[in-house]
Amino acid sequence: MGYLGLSALFGFHYQYLNNICVILLSSHGFFSTIVMLIVHHPYREYIRSVFKYQILVWDRGRSITANNLNTVT
């Protein structure tokens, strides 16, 4: 039942607990979306193709930058 249910049922109010509950409930969707993008392979590959990232190749002390050319088929 949790704090929110007991608070509504018995009519008591603690502002700091309300703030913590609102923060936890509102961030749940954000964190579940981030986990879904990381865990599932098709989503992860699509995100990689959208954000073109660069690969640094170190060759005897010199850095060479090459763009990654991913294509979605």
**Domain boundaries in the chain?**
2-67
Look at residue 73 and tell me whether its pLDDT is greater than 80: no
pTM: 0.50
Radius of gyration in angstroms for the set of CA atoms belonging to the chain, rounded to a whole number: 23
Q: Please enumerate in sequence order all residues whose Cβ is within 8 A of that of 72, keeping only pairs 6 or more positions apart, or say none.
A: 46, 49
Of 38 and 53, which is predicted with more confidence? Answer: 38
Look at residue 68 and tell me whether its pLDDT is greater than 60: no
Taking residues 63-69, what's their average pLDDT?
55
> Residue 21 is encoded by which pair of tokens?
């509950």
At 61 the pLDDT is 56
CB neighbour burial string for 2-39, b if at least 16 within 10 angstroms, e if fewer: eeeeeeeeeeeeeeeeeeeeeeeeeeeeeeeeeeeeee
